[in-house]
Chain A
Amino acid sequence: MTKVTMTVNGKTRTAEAEGRTLLAEWLREGVRLTGTHIGCDTSQCGACVVHVNGEAVKACSVLAQEIDGAEVTTVEGMANADGSLGVIQQAFQDYHGLQCGFCTPGMVMSTAALLKDNPQPTEAEVRHYLEGNICRCTGYHNIVKAVMAASGQQVAPVAAE
């Protein structure tokens, strides 16, 4: 075991890691931040997406020891300072961008990465960017609406006319 220290959501966190310990495991079991979800554990579903040094990565496919010293942002870091929901989180709530909610942490983190690079994406760009995030409730339409709303763009009403 080796002590690994990272800045997680602005706070210094230290926990032990084996060579094989994945960032997702280190966050969940070492630091007890369980907002990062492990869905498939095969790098396909994107539920574990977090930001490492500002870039979206799948936390189940990065070794904790490898990124010792990194700055990490997880879904727990997406709320406002007063604890209220951040813009992206609020948009997911407003537009019902989640059903069971399991994929949501990864969706929110991928959305944040997309909007940082492309603040006003088209709907097609949103769908393309989120191709690595799988929602097994298949609620993609509302997820896309939530992302469009989070980017400050017009969104068609959710309820059927």
Chain B
Amino acid sequence: MYNFELVKPTTLQDAVAALKDDDAQALGGGQTLLPTMKARLAMSDKFVALSGVAEIRGICTDDDGRICIGGGTTHADVAKGATDYPALASTAARIGDPAVRNRGTIGGSLANNDPSACYPAAALASNATICTPDREIAADAYFQGMFETALEEGEIITEVKFPVPQKAAYEKFIQPASRFPLVAVFVAKFSDGVRVAVTGASSDGVFRWSEAEAALSDNFSAEAILGLSAPSSDGMISDLHGDATYRAHLVKVMTARAVKAAI
């Protein structure tokens, strides 16, 4: 990888100031960014490591009952600490492998918005709010396509607030070499309706399957999904692991499994 200057702020204020430099880029846990830099697919003259900023780590519950997770919290800490939202803890516990989970962060995953990442599905299905130093962004407005988000240049995720559904589950069909989902579905049942978010399938990144949401809001059962047609394969990812039609089929299968698994 090309060389760079590493800046290590210990406060959010210093991190934000360091990122005002046009040449600076944020570094979360580095579990995606460092391999990308090694492949010379990403580079910058300066990286600002967020791992030393204690105030953006940790898990708490706010007055509205939402689980609030600091952007710098690792997957391992969410897996252990998000006990009030078991489906979210389980999602975190299944990202990558144990060593990756000890470094990778929720803020890094959501900022990168890989079209096959796990957290975007959890955040979108949960109707989470993504917080930065200056504003709060609803998940529906945050995810804007493959590797595209509502974040501005240099803007970092300080916290993610998850409303806790009545029932939820994340089911993933794993691609065993990368351990990313080939297709994965997060289903969340709230008192006012069901949200279904799909990752790994679309070349536009994570998306909500509205037909499934309508069917499940009416009748929360796997049978309600099996009565639907699979979503259109237009715009689905096609690669050597599975073509667009197969991925569209998997969306339906994994949604039904998630409904069955929802607790």
Closest chain B residue to A114, Cβ basis: B98
Distance between Cα atoms of A9 and B38 in the complex (Å):
28
Interface residues of A in 9-52 (CB under 8 A from B): 18-20, 22, 41-44, 46, 49
Tell me how many residues of B have a C-beta within 8 Å of chain A: 30
Q: Of B3-11, B196-204, B226-234, which stretch is located at the interface?
A: B3-11
Query: A61 to B35, Cβ gap below 8 A?
Result: yes
Q: Is B103 an interface residue (CB 8 A)?
A: yes
Query: A66 to B102, Cβ gap below 8 A?
Result: no
Query: B96 to A62, Cβ gap below 8 A?
Result: no
Query: A43 to B35, Cβ gap below 8 A?
Result: yes
Note all chain A residues with C-beta closer than 8 A to B35. Answer: 42-43, 61
Tell me how many residues of A have a C-beta within 8 Å of chain B: 27
Note all chain B residues with C-beta closer than 8 A to A66. Answer: 6, 8, 27, 30, 49, 51-52
Known: A19-B6, A20-B3, A66-B8. A61 touches B97 (CB 8 A): no
Q: Is B53 an interface residue (CB 8 A)?
A: no
Note all chain A residues with C-beta closer than 8 A to B98. Answer: 56, 110, 113-114, 129, 132
Q: How far is the CB of A25 from chain B (nearest CB, A)?
A: 11
Query: A132 to B49, Cβ gap below 8 A?
Result: no
Of A20, A46, A114, A131, which one neighbours B1 at CB under 8 angstroms?
A20
Note all chain A residues with C-beta closer than 8 A to B51. Answer: 66
Can you list 7 A-B pairs, Cβ within 8 angstroms, ordered by A? A19-B6, A20-B2, A61-B30, A66-B27, A66-B49, A132-B96, A132-B100
